[in-house]
Structure 1
Amino acid sequence: MSAVLFDAPGPRARRRNTLLGVVAAVLVVGVLAFIVWRFAVTGQFSSDKWRVFGFPLVQRSILQALGSTLLAFAYGAVLSLALGLLLAIGRLSARSWLRVTCTVVVELFRAVPLLILMMIVYYGLPPLGVTFITPLIAVVTGLTLYNGAVLAEVFRTGVQSVPRGQREAAEALGMRRGHVLWQILLPQATRAMLPVILAQFVVILKDTALGFIVTYQELLYYAKYLGSNFQYGAPLIPATIVVGTVYIGLCLVLSGASKLVERRLKGTRRTRPGTRVAVSSQHDDADREDAAR
């Protein structure tokens, strides 16, 4: 039986694939070159557009906006994890009323766009008498509700991916359902869930950019403010490039951390070579002793 699921490409197929790859690369390079050319023609690379970023006040403001972005991300990530875990436990509960309630909450907040959640919290609650709503609270609340619902499904599917025999064996030993979940299922499911959770953190970081709608002064809000300032020549595109570069750097850091954790988790699953050698040598010694007898 062949282990290959498809036929190896022949000479014509290889030439066709090479040609398609070259055409795609040329198209991508052409689009990028056109964009750079248009930026150059419209003066986006001129010193007048970029001199604003040499001002110490602007640099400090960018750092403050970066701090606001990271603050919203930190609150959103931690609270989303807590809410997702609670909703997942509720969906796995044996009580039908709790399971149905958590299912409705998860499906509701997964269906509502994040931007609408932020706007409801910031613009909809104050007319109802809730006066303590700030832009940070609106952003963090929206991030928590939406991403918590998404992470709830991650936790639930991760726990259900553990072989059913683990649960049955623990229950046969007399362990309660809650103890089985916390002591048996969750530790094993963490290996499968952790890379997905870290990937969702990247989504949370990028979603903080929606905070400019509710006047939260994060990176995108400051880029919009700086780009509309005619005193500095309205450098909207340069400001967008700078802020976009910062977001790309932050996402690359989180993606790198996710890949590092995934590699380490894969490494812990493998048995050390020395252990295999020791075990095999013990079996060989036992076989020799049996043969001598």
Structure 2
Amino acid sequence: MSSVLYDSQGPRAKQRNVLYTGLFAVAVAALVWWVYDSLDEKGQLEWVLWKPFFGSEAWSTYIWPGLQQTLLAAALSMVIALPLGALFGIARLSEHAWIRVPASVVVEFFRAIPVLVLMIFGNALFSAYMSVDPDDRPLYAVVTGLVLYNASVLAEIVRAGILSLPRGQSEAAMAVGLRKNQVMRFILLPQAVTAMLPAIVSQMVVIVKDTALGGAVLTFPDLMAAVSPMSSYYGANVIASFTVVALIYIVINFALTSFASWLEGRLRRGKKSTGAVIGADAVAELAAPGEHTDVTKGP
């Protein structure tokens, strides 16, 4: 089957693709075997190094407390960054320069600064000018850095998602009497959410992973920070400790991605299955107070 962007493969192209796939599979298998053989040669696959992670002590003492801090920092950052990013994304679409320009400056400024620099700056700020408990200061600094950076990125995602919609939809909505804020709330944002969902979830995955920066630099007791004391306590089994922590991050991020895929599919199916049409009475109720829009009559 051919299209403008794609031509059907011929017999030779299919043979080449099969050959390339086979070579790639062999290369991956060789790499996996090399890693396994190297670890086995160094004694990193011995049961004594992996046995502690199949008991409750390592999980209750090191992994679970660190995982709680990771999830707490990620959840707080998501809850604050999502509405803040949506607010700045919509502000960047404003027709008023006094709203659009400052919002654009803020977004571009924080989007250009590495998140680790923002965390360090937040930690210094809380230490010098605010009476934050020293034990809570790393958490505050990590959340501050994650919120400032990811809110600016989410603002661009929201702006791009709204701009991706056909312009005729907003023009048609305004033609029947809806005001700009009503067009944004009832027409554009509900449709843009589905288009933005994969990018938003990708940014949530970034938030979860970036919490590890706080553990590496700011002594934030997250999941990654638990690797050093855990590996030292169980005989310097660094490889096993990092592998277990990496698998936990993979499970968390895979769960986020799977949930987003399910939610996106549900939203798309819901939109396809609904054939609701806004009637004249509903349009009149959404119009400005004191105004009446008669959609049954021409101008």
| TM-score normalised by the chain length of structure 1 | 0.84
1:189 alignment partner, SS class? helix
**Structure 1 residues not aligned, in runs of 5+:** 276-293
Whole-angstrom distance in 2 between the partners of 1:153 and 1:195: 14
Which one has a bigger Cα radius of gyration?
1
> Aligned partners of 2:221 and 2:263: how far apart in 1?
32
Determine if contact 1:199/1:258 at 8 Å carries over to the other structure.
Answer: no
Equivalent residues in 2 for 1:42-53, closer than 5 Å: 42-53=42-53
2:184 maps to 1:164: no
2: CA distance between counterparts of 1:211 and 1:32?
31
Give the 3 Å change call, closer, same or farther, for CA 113–267 of structure 1 in structure 2. Answer: same
User: Structure 1 residues 187 and 252 mapped into 2: Cα distance closer, same or farther (>3 Å)?
Assistant: same
How far, CA to CA, are the matches of 1:163 and 1:43 in structure 2?
Answer: 60
Map 1:52-67 onto structure 2 (within 5 A): 52-54=52-54, 56-61=56-61, 62-67=63-68
Does the CA-based 8 Å contact 1:147-1:204 persist in structure 2?
yes
Render the CA deviation track for 1:250-278: whole Å, top value 9, x for unaligned: 11111111111121122123348xx9xxx
What is the identity, as a one-letter code, of the residue corresponding to 1:204? I
> What does residue 224 of structure 2 align with?
220
Please name the residue that 2:252 is paired with: 250
Provide the residue aligned with 1:150 in structure 2: 153
**Contact 1:162/1:185, CA 8 A, preserved across alignment:** yes
Runs (4+) of structure 1 moved beyond 4 Å?
A: none
Matches of 1:198 and 1:13, distance apart in 2: 36
Q: 2:238 aligns with which of 236, 239, 242?
A: 236
SS at match of 2:26: helix
2:31 is aligned to 31
Answer yes or no: is the 8 Å Cα contact 2:126–2:141 preserved in 1.
no
Equivalent in the alignment of 1:278: none
CA change 1:54–1:15 in 2 (3 A) is: closer
The equivalent residue for 1:287 is: none
What residue number does 1:193 align with? 196
Q: Which amino acid aligns with 2:40?
A: A
Q: Which residue of 2 is the match for residue 291 of structure 1?
A: none
CA contact (8 A) 1:80 1:147 kept: yes
Structure 2 Cα separation of the partners of residues 30 and 224 of structure 1: 31
Q: Which amino acid aligns with 1:139?
A: V
Match of 2:270 in 1: 268
Structure 2 segments unaligned to the other structure (5+ residues): 276-299
Q: CA deviation at 1:59?
A: 1.4
Gap change, CA 1:160 and 1:8, over 3 Å in 2: closer
Q: State the alpha-carbon separation in 1 of the partners of residues 7 and 179 from structure 2.
A: 52
CA gap of 1:7–1:85, structure 2 versus 1, over 3 A, is closer
Q: How big is each residue's C-alpha offset from its partner over 1:206-256, in whole Å with a ceiling of 9 and x where there is no partner?
A: 2222221211111111013322x1x42111110001001111111111111
**Alpha-carbon deviations, 1:157-184, whole Å to 9, x = none?**
2222232223223333444322322233
Report the more deviating stretch, 184-193 or 166-175. 166-175
Work out whether residues 195 and 261 of structure 1, in 8 Å CA contact, stay in contact via their aligned partners in 2. Answer: no
SS, match of residue 224 in structure 2: helix
State the partner residue of 2:279.
none
User: 1:189 and 1:172 mapped to 2: Cα distance?
Assistant: 20
Partner of 2:99: 98
Q: Which amino acid is the alignment partner of residue 161 of structure 1?
A: S
Taking the aligned partners of 1:162 and 1:5, their CA distance within structure 2 comes to: 22
Q: Deviations over 1:51-75 (max 9, x none)?
A: 4335533211311111111111111
**C-alpha displacement of 1:100:** 0.9
Check conservation: 1:118, 1:141, Cα contact below 8 A. Answer: yes
The more displaced of 55-64 and 256-265 is: 55-64
CA 1:261/1:221 → structure 2, altered by over 3 Å: closer, same or farther?
same
Cα pair 2:53 2:59 within 8 Å, conserved: yes
> Number of residues paired by the alignment?
270
The one-letter code sitting in structure 2 at the alignment partner of 1:219 is: L
In the alignment, the residues of structure 1 paired with residue 7 and residue 183 of structure 2 have an alpha-carbon distance, to the nearest angstrom, of 46
Which runs of structure 2 are paired with 1:204-219 in the superposition (5 Å)?
A: 204-212=207-215, 213-219=217-223
